[in-house]
Amino acid sequence: MKIIVAKTGGFCMGVRRAVDMVLQASTRNSPPIYTYGPLIHNPQVLSILNEKGISVMTEIPEKGEGTVLIRAHGVPPEAQQRLQDAGFRVLNATCPHVIKVQTIIRTHTRKGYASIIIGDKDHPEVVGLMGYANGKGRVAADIEGLSAIPLFEKGIVVAQTTQNSRLFQEIQAWARDNAPHYKIFNTICNATDKRQAEVRQIADSVDAVVVVGGHNSGNTTRLAQIVRESGKPVYHVETEEELPADAFASVQTVGITAGASTPQWIIKKVYRSCEGMLLKNEKSWRVMFFNLQRTLLWTSIYLALGAGSICYTGLKLQGFDYLSPPVLVSMLYIISMHTFNHLTGRKADRFNDPDRAAFYRSNRGILTALAVAAGAAGLAIASYVGPLAFLILLLMSVLGISYNLRLVPKQLHTGRYRRIRDIPGSKTVLIALGWGLVTSIVPSIMRSGAVPGGTLLVFLWSASLVFVRTAFFDILDIHGDRITGRETFPIVLGEASTMRLLKGILVLNMGVLFFSSLLGWISPLGFVLMLVSVLLYLSIAAYEQSRMSPGIGLEFLIESHLVLTGVLGWLSTLGS
């Protein structure tokens, strides 16, 4: 069983930019805020935007107030003028690639050229482009349509930015033979080109392909058409519910791609469905292993195991033999905080991990009891050991619990910073700090009431490892976080810069281990632990190069690096 997810699938730069602009407008501009036409054809996204006070305008009124965002497709210049004349503040989120095509048409129209647009005449982008042709524009969907248009003395040919690149090559060949005086502009955007090239490649290497996106989305339909031309079965679906139950009855490998306005969480839902359907073709032990992985991840038990492992090995690194109470406290704290935050942060989970959100919804009672019991047990052990460890753990617990809660009432402050989670990057930093403290500083205090230098090095090692793991998951959750307004590192810095940052941190992490062990500040086990950083580096690089797809398998693999620290720590004791 194998699923290949196209790296180029989902939100393109233009859609992402438009989403960012409208979310920014909702926090900076006074209401009302509108998008001229739906930003994305997805009811969940529209309802989230609605909750943020962003509604859809379908007709331009005579008079109005507030801000209107023009979507990535662009609009005819008259529509923009009418919006301004009506009294709206206009935010133009037209994609730069579309602006380029508009400019080509406008410039040539002024010089007396007629414009032929190869595309879908009803698509908003094409409607917008026609507005720049000043009545001298024509639309053709294919060669037949193009041949039916009378030849112009002066003409240009451009493409809708999401046009099929093979079709446009044929159009170019037709023009060379039939209208050599026409100026041809290949205006297909590179995101579209790459998406189409990748789906051709994927179709060659799998048994079936799922294309995710609106049935009325031109670019998604073209992706499905490309797969069809390859001879492989294709399922064009808007949601996972449209996948036929027997779709993969005799299939081993499936490819998934998606249109330019398909959010990642819908791709994820489809991925999970495909995973479940393909599992039916697998041997029973693989099904059991998959279910075990999922349960361990969803209940945060595997994470707690990771925390216990880091704590155990951190103590070993410092040569301490006082192990059980701190390891237990770290595990209880982590399971309690992560469960609690999944319970209170279900809105983002609804997009980022819908299955997990459903699991938390249906087991709310038992999971709340688990979070409370684990937190209380951790605090009880810490208080038994000493007041300082108890106080630090209590403070960390309060901070952890309040992360998703509104701390500043609306009456006092209506701005955006009302919860800790509203601070950009706070989630990743706080998780890393929390893990670092509970796996290094708290254990040292529990042991001797002091924090020696070696403990600070262990803190750095632990916090940096967890920072990388958390920020990596932020990259996977970028679309859901973007829509729900969470400003994580990938949203603030961009995906590519975050990847570079994570790799840099892992190199530093290895450096800390290497020099601290070399100088005798921590035990030689530090040399061995460099292996974990190397493997984590390779795993995120493999994802970056599309050699791994998001899903339970990848999540389990990333968390396994934390558990591996414990295995290596334990192995180091075998010879002694």
Binding site for ligand SF4 (CB under 6 A): 12-15, 72, 95, 97-98, 161-162, 189, 191-192, 260
In the complex, minimum distance from the CB of residue 171 to ligand SF4, in angstroms, rounded to a whole number: 18
Phi, psi of 133 (to 5 degrees): -90, 0
- Strands in 114-118's sheet, in edge-to-edge order, are 137-140, 114-118, 155-159, 183-184
**Residue 125: count of CB within 10 angstroms of its CB:** 27
In the complex, minimum distance from the CB of residue 142 to ligand SF4, in angstroms, rounded to a whole number: 20
Q: Please, which residue, 26 or 187, has the CB nearer to ligand SF4?
A: 187
In the complex, minimum distance from the CB of residue 259 to ligand SF4, in angstroms, rounded to a whole number: 9
Q: Please, which residue, 161 or 257, has the CB nearer to ligand SF4?
A: 161
* Token duo for residue 103: 């400019």
Minimal CB distance to ligand SF4: which residue?
14
Q: Please, which residue, 124 or 436, has the CB nearer to ligand SF4?
A: 124
Q: Please, which residue, 189 or 466, has the CB nearer to ligand SF4?
A: 189
In the complex, minimum distance from the CB of residue 344 to ligand SF4, in angstroms, rounded to a whole number: 35
Ramachandran region of residue 77, left (φ > 0), alpha (ψ -120 to 50) or beta? alpha
Q: Please, which residue, 15 or 379, has the CB nearer to ligand SF4?
A: 15
Q: Please, which residue, 119 or 550, has the CB nearer to ligand SF4?
A: 119
Instruction: Report which of 491, 490, 480, 488 is spatially closest to residue 346, judged by C-alpha positions.
Output: 480
In the complex, minimum distance from the CB of residue 16 to ligand SF4, in angstroms, rounded to a whole number: 8
* Token duo for residue 172: 């170019």
In the complex, minimum distance from the CB of residue 12 to ligand SF4, in angstroms, rounded to a whole number: 3
Q: Please, which residue, 102 or 428, has the CB nearer to ligand SF4?
A: 102
In the complex, minimum distance from the CB of residue 183 to ligand SF4, in angstroms, rounded to a whole number: 20
Q: What is the DSSP letter of 133?
A: T
User: Nearest 5°: CA angle at 143, between 139 and 149?
Assistant: 50
Burial 136-171 (b: 16+ CB within 10 A, else e): bbbbbbebeebeeeeebeebbbbbbbbbbbebbeeb
What is the helix (H) or strand (E) element at residue 331, kind and residue range? Answer: helix 324-344
Q: Is 545 exposed, middle or buried (0-12, 13-18, 19+ CB in 10 A)?
A: exposed
Q: What is the DSSP letter of 184?
A: E
Single-letter residue type at 125? E
* CA–CA separation, 554 and 477 (whole Å): 13
E strands along 208-328, which residues?
208-212, 234-237, 253-258
Q: Please, which residue, 22 or 95, has the CB nearer to ligand SF4?
A: 95
In the complex, minimum distance from the CB of residue 195 to ligand SF4, in angstroms, rounded to a whole number: 8
Q: Please, which residue, 189 or 227, has the CB nearer to ligand SF4?
A: 189
Which residues, listed in sequence order, are joined to residue 183 by a DSSP beta bridge?
A: 156
In the complex, minimum distance from the CB of residue 262 to ligand SF4, in angstroms, rounded to a whole number: 12
Among the listed residues 51, 65, 78, 125, the single catalytic one is 125
**Cβ-proximal residues to 214 (8 Å cutoff; 6+ apart), any chain:** 41, 220, 238, 259, 261, 262
DSSP string, 31-61: SPEEEES-SSS-HHHHHHHHHTTEEEE-S--
* Token duo for residue 157: 């040919």
Which residues, listed in sequence order, are joined to residue 140 by a DSSP beta bridge?
A: 118
The answer to whether 78 is a known catalytic residue is no
User: Which of helix, strand or coil describes residue 472?
Assistant: helix
Q: What share of the chain is helix, strand, coil (3-state, %, to 5)?
A: 60, 10, 30
| Residues taking part in catalysis | 125
